[in-house]
Chain A
Amino acid sequence: MKPFDFIQPQTTDAALAALAEHSPNVRILNGGTDYVVELKHVAQSPGVVVDISRLQDLKGIEITDAGLRIGAGVTHSEIMADPLIAEHAPAMIDAAHTVGAVQTRNLGTLGGNLVTCVPSMDSGPTLLALDAQVTILGPKGSRQIPLSEFFVFVRKTALEPDELLLEIIIPKENLGKPAGFIKFGLRKGQALALVNAASAFRIEDGKFKDVRIALGAVAPVVIRAAKAEAILEGQAVSEDLINEAAKIAVTEASPIDDFRASKEYRNDLIEVGARRTMQAALAAANA
C-alpha cells in the first residue's frame, strides 16, 4: 500500500470536519472489505483515509416515523441477525447472506456495499425494489435522495468527496411488502453475482400493485425493469403474466459477456431470476 494518513474520528461531526478539511484528497474507510483491497492495488496514495467504523450515528436498525432505518455502518452479519429486518424486510436477509463469506459479512457494511456502486452488489436490488431512500451528510447539512438516484454509474454515486452516507430508509408504506431476492454465482459462497434480482409487489383485490422488479450485474448500475413491471401493474394475478414479465425483463438488461458466463447464459439467468423472485413475492403475499 502507498503511504497515507489515517484518521479515526469518534463522532460524525469530527468525521465531516476531517472530510471537509482534506477533500478532495480523502477517502472513507468502513469495513474495508472493498477499499483495503483497492488500497493494495492503487498506484497513487489517497492522501488521507478517514475510518468511520467507530461512528455510533452509522450504527443501529430501528423503526422511525419515516420507516425502517438502517445505519450505513451496519454489517451484513448484523442485518442477518436482526429481528426488525426479519419482520419487515426479510428479503434483505437473503441478500445479506449471499455477500462473500462470514468474514466478509462480519466486516462489510450495507453503506459500503452501496457506495462501491459495482453492478453486482448484492444489497442493491432488494433495496431498489423497496424504494429505499438514503440520507447523505455533508458540510451543508443532510439531504435525502432515492437510492435509484444515488447510483450514477459503475463505481460512481451521487456522493461528493466531502460527504458520507448516513443511513438507508425503507419507507413506512413498504414495511412488510412482499418481496423476493435471488443471486446466481458460480458457487454458493465467496462468488460475485452473475445476475441478481429482487421483486416486490402488493396484491390488492386480486391484482398486482406497486410492482418493482430490480436487476443487478446486468447494466452499469442496478436497474429497474420498468417494462416488466408495467406488464403486471394493475392486472389480475396470474402465473402466465409473471412468466411474460420475466421474458420482457431480459430485453431491458445489457449483461456482459466474459470468462465467467456468456451473455446468452446471463440472459437466461435474468429471466429465471426475475420469474423466481416474482414467484417468491407472490408466495409471501399469499402467506
Chain B
Amino acid sequence: MTDITLTVNGEEKTASVPPETTLLKMLREDLNYTGAKLGCDVGDCGACTVLVDGIAVNACLMLAGQAEGKNIETIEGLSTLEEYHPIQKAFEDVASLQCGFCGPGMIMSTKALIDQGEELTRDDIKDALSGNLCRCTGYTKIIEGVIDAYEEITGKKVPETNPRAA
C-alpha cells in the first residue's frame, strides 16, 4: 500500500491505496469525491478532469502516488449549497448541458483556462476544451457558457471573430 497525503479543495486528505490506483479512483472511492467521472479510462474523454497544482489533467492517467503532496481541485470545490460558481451559473443560464456527465470535466477545464488570466478567443476556448467530449449537446451551448463565464469573471469580451486566425 502507498500512503498518500494531498490537498483536495483546500483540505488536507490522506489515503492508503495500492500503487496501481489512479488519482481518479482514489478521489472517487477512497476520498468520496465523486464529481470527477470515469468515462473512457484512457485519456480520451476528459470526464475525469481535475486540476493538479492549477493545471487540468486527466485523473484517470495519473497514479495516486504521483499526486502525493499536490494541490487538487475538483468540481466539489467550486460551489456551496447556497451559491454556484460563476462558471456553473453560466452553464445553467444558457443550458449548456443535457445529461451532465461531461459537466464536471468541462467546468474544470474551463476553470483552468480562465484562471490562466489570458485574453481568450473562441478558438482558444475550443482548443482548451478539445479534450472534453460531450455525447449530448453538440458543444455550441457549452462554448456559449464558457464565453459568458469568462466575460462575467474577467469583465473582458471574447471577440466575435478570431483576430489571430489565418
The interface of chain A, by Cβ under 8 A from chain B, is 1-6, 8, 29, 31-33, 36-37, 39-40, 49, 51, 53, 77, 100-104, 106-107, 188-190
Give the size of the chain B interface in residues (CB under 8 angstroms): 29
Q: Which residues of the partner chain B approach A100 to less than 8 Å between Cβ atoms?
A: 43, 131
Nearest residue in B to A29 (C-beta to C-beta)? B63
Q: Which residues of the partner chain B approach A32 to less than 8 Å between Cβ atoms?
A: 61-63, 66
Complex CA–CA separation, A40 to B62 (angstroms)? 12
Do the beta carbons of A190 and B68 come within 8 Å of each other? no
CB distance from B4 to the nearest CB of A (A): 11
Apart from the given pairs A102-B109, A189-B131, 15 other A-B contacts in the complex at a CB distance below 8 Å? A3-B18, A4-B20, A5-B19, A6-B2, A8-B65, A8-B66, A36-B62, A40-B41, A49-B63, A51-B63, A51-B66, A77-B55, A103-B43, A103-B56, A190-B131
Between A and B, 7 residue pairs with Cβ closer than 8 Å are A4-B19, A8-B65, A33-B58, A36-B22, A36-B63, A101-B132, A103-B61
A104-B43 contact given A8-B65, A29-B63, A189-B127, CB 8 Å threshold: yes
Residues 29 to 72 of chain B near chain A (Cβ within 8 Å): 41-44, 46, 49, 55-58, 60-63, 65-66, 68
Complex CA–CA separation, A100 to B43 (angstroms)? 9
Nearest residue in A to B45 (C-beta to C-beta)? A190
B130 within 8 A of A: yes
Do the beta carbons of A3 and B20 come within 8 Å of each other? yes
Q: Which residues of the partner chain B approach A106 to less than 8 Å between Cβ atoms?
A: 55-57
Nearest residue in A to B53 (C-beta to C-beta)? A106
Q: Which residues of the partner chain A approach B62 to less than 8 Å between Cβ atoms?
A: 32, 36, 107
CB distance from B114 to the nearest CB of A (A): 13
Q: Which residues of the partner chain B approach A189 to less than 8 Å between Cβ atoms?
A: 127, 130-131
Interface centre among A8, A32, A40, A51 (most CB of B within 10 A): A32
B128 within 8 A of A: yes
Complex CA–CA separation, A60 to B59 (angstroms)? 25
Nearest residue in A to B59 (C-beta to C-beta)? A103
Task: Tell me which of B44, B60, B65, B130 contacts A102 (CB under 8 A).
Answer: B130
Residues 3 to 18 of chain B near chain A (Cβ within 8 Å): 18
Interface centre among A36, A104, A189 (most CB of B within 10 A): A36
Nearest residue in B to A188 (C-beta to C-beta)? B130
